[in-house]
Amino acid sequence: MTGFETLLDGFEPDFDVEYAPPIPEDEFHDRIARLRRAAAVAENEVTLVHTDGAPGFGTSNTYLHWLCDWPREGILVVPTDTTQDIHLFSFYTESVIMPPAGEPIGIAAIWQISPFSIEYGGRPGNPSHKTVDAVIKRLTDLGYARSSIGLVGDATSVQFWNYLKSELPHARYSNRTESLNDMTRILSANEQAQIRTAAQLTDVAVQAAYHVTRPGVSDFEIYAAFTFAQMSRGGETGDGYQIGINPWGTACGKPYGHIVRSGDIGNLYVSNVRYHGYTAQIARMIAVGSITKKQATTLEMCADAVKRAQAIIKPGLPFSALHDAAFTAYTDRGYLSPTQVRTADMPYNWGAMPDGSARLVPEQHVPDPDYEATGRVLNHVYPATFGPHNPNLGHSVGPMGGPKFNVTSHNTERLQPGMSFVLHAQWLDPLSDGANIGDMFLVTEDGYERLSSHTALETHRIAG
């Protein structure tokens, strides 16, 4: 047993984090103006934007955070007429998170609903219906009970919109979610500064993980050091990323009590380090002591794949070109054939059978003394098949809002300045070798900026 809290003694990152200030208020006013303009083009007299609560005191989406800097749940009522005030209806979940952070910007009034229920407070009622009732009163006061209403939300919004439609059957409704998603695709200069800081915090976290990883240390301790280093410096989230370590090179995992041994290969898949609501993502590998020739080749291949794609990043290039360039590193080494690198033909770890039917997970005892020490036994081989972890090279990351894009062989959308994304080359052959290596990039006017620039892409080696 190590001295848990002493592992980070003497740790200092080899660079200073550049802290971006919060997004200026006038940028939030501009976002609302853009939403209103889009509503006018869509012939909507009012737009309703919904964000629900989520487990862990989170939210189901970031729409309200992006529009008015409100980090909680709520429905925002935005009249298209700029002479009419914007109202926010919130506090209908049992979350106890209070401002700050979160004084909403550009809002004339905030209405508190209450998390009704007999069990919770001895007051019968449906909080989603109570929220919609309050919104309906506002719409009626504005004269919009029979108007054209734009709706922005996610899957959790359906119960709200269904009840709204039943109570205001004479209004006309249109889904405007995609229009708001489109507004978040290109990062402003202020937003670019946010993800730059978030990426630097990920580098701090990775350097801290390198500092503590050695034989005898547990994956819990690596996770804790990784988390403490970035959160103590301003990171907003401590969950969401995967730290896996085993003798074969896991593509991703969660700590469970594994003790680092010589020959282990660890993966730091940093998927949700957040700063002022903006997210960074990178992936790094650690090799402890001696590893096999095949394992070394896989690690080298994945780093090479990212570099091949990175070398051609520029505005106007289709995302498919990045995918194609990266996977030449796989075909050159014989890991995949040229036809297999097409997304539809790509074998990948969590894929079904080629005909779309379910794939049987192989049943086999996999010895794991640390897992077995907990009283459990691993009796299946995960993943069920070889290949990259995902059938793509990467995806958008950084901005708030809904899903954006994946870097695939069929995505012919072209790179634009202000787009941010992660490129992570992956491979895992069960019980043999694996890697997950990636960097985060921002497209600039004449090329790109590598945001995760304070840790090397190559595998970090530690003496066994």
Report whether pLDDT(252) > 90. Answer: no
164, 222: one domain: no
In a domain, 310, yes or no: yes
- Give me the chain's average pLDDT, please: 94
Q: Give the tokens for residue 170.
A: 């004479």
Helix (H, G, I), strand (E, B) or coil at 177: helix
Contact predicate 289/216, CB 8 Å: no
pLDDT tens digit sequence for 140-183: 999 999 999 999 999 999 999 999 999 999 999 999 999 999 99
In a domain, 4, yes or no: no
Final residue in a domain of this structure, among 183, 203, 226: 183
How many other CB atoms sit within 10 Å of the CB of residue 237? 19
* Enclosing domain of residue 72: 25-183
Kindly indicate the confidence band of residue 316, based on its pLDDT and cuts at 50, 70 and 90.
very high
126, 200: one domain: no
pLDDT tens digit sequence for 25-45: 999 999 999 999 999 999 999
61, 202: one domain: no
38, 135: one domain: yes
Contact predicate 409/393, CB 8 Å: no
Amino acid at 79: P
230, 371: one domain: yes
pLDDT tens digit sequence for 5-21: 888 999 999 999 999 99
66, 213: one domain: no
Final residue in a domain of this structure, among 145, 163, 183: 183
298, 421: one domain: yes
| CATH number of the domain residue 230 falls in | 3.90.230.10
In whole angstroms, how far apart are CA 365 and each of 248, 369, 378? 15, 12, 6
Q: What is the pLDDT of residue 464?
A: 79
Total domains in the chain come to 2
Contact predicate 46/78, CB 8 Å: yes
DSSP-derived letter for residue 86 is: P
Q: Directed axis angle between helix 127-142 and helix 158-167, to 10°?
A: 50
- CA atoms of 29 and 44, how far apart (whole Å): 19
In a domain, 138, yes or no: yes
Q: What is the pLDDT of residue 271?
A: 85
Q: What is the pLDDT of residue 55?
A: 86
Length of the chain: 464
Average pLDDT (387-396) is 93
Report whether pLDDT(3) > 90. Answer: no
Contact predicate 453/196, CB 8 Å: no
Does this model's pTM top 0.85? My answer is yes
178, 214: one domain: no
pLDDT tens digit sequence for 280-295: 999 999 999 999 999 9
